[in-house]
Amino acid sequence: GAVVSQHPSWVICKSGTSVKIECRSLDFQATTMFWYRQFPKQSLMLMATSNEGSKATYEQGVEKDKFLINHASLTLSTLTVTSAHPEDSSFYICSARDEERGVLDTQYFGPGTRLTVL
């Protein structure tokens, strides 16, 4: 099956620093990847759509200057949380769209990255 990896699996940083999270599709190419955030006991909230070779599309209320997304290749998207603050502490999950299956395209999710900002 399609596998998506994330790195790191967890990170602790000081307030004011920037953190980069990588999302890779390991056995398929993905022109589109998605970034979600999940707070404890809550559902996943879509943050942005990452498009290979073009700018990301952000959901309403998500600051694009704070959450920088780069999708430089067909297998890698990165999310950088800039000037992180404690309220940015959350579980960040990426997904990749397996477009080779045509209409029945399905998103496959990474294992998530736990970010804790002190």
Partner 1 sequence: LAKTTQPISMDSYEGQEVNITCSHNNIATNDYITWYQQFPSQGPRFIIQGYKTKVTNEVASLFIPADRKSSTLSLPRVSLSDTAVYYCLGGPGSSNTGKLIFGQGTTLQVKP
Q: For binding to partner 1 (CB under 8 A), which residues are involved?
A: 1, 4, 6, 32, 34, 36, 43-46, 49, 57, 91, 93-95, 97, 103-112, 114
Which lies closer to partner 1 via its Cβ, residue 93 or residue 117? 93
User: How wide is the angle at C-alpha 118 spanned by C-alphas 20 and 61, nearest 5°?
Assistant: 60
Which residues touch 78 (CB under 8 Å, ≥6 apart)? 20, 21, 22, 23, 69, 70, 71, 72
Which lies closer to partner 1 via its Cβ, residue 57 or residue 89? 57
Q: How far is the CB of 58 from partner 1 (least distance, A)?
A: 12
d(CA 59, CA 90) in angstroms, rounded, equals 17
Which lies closer to partner 1 via its Cβ, residue 4 or residue 69? 4
> Which three-class secondary structure state does DSSP give residue 95?
strand
Q: How far is the CB of 39 from partner 1 (least distance, A)?
A: 12
**Residue type present at position 16:** G
Q: How far is the CB of 43 from partner 1 (least distance, A)?
A: 5
Q: How far is the CB of 24 from partner 1 (least distance, A)?
A: 13
> 83, 16 in Cβ contact below 8 A?
yes
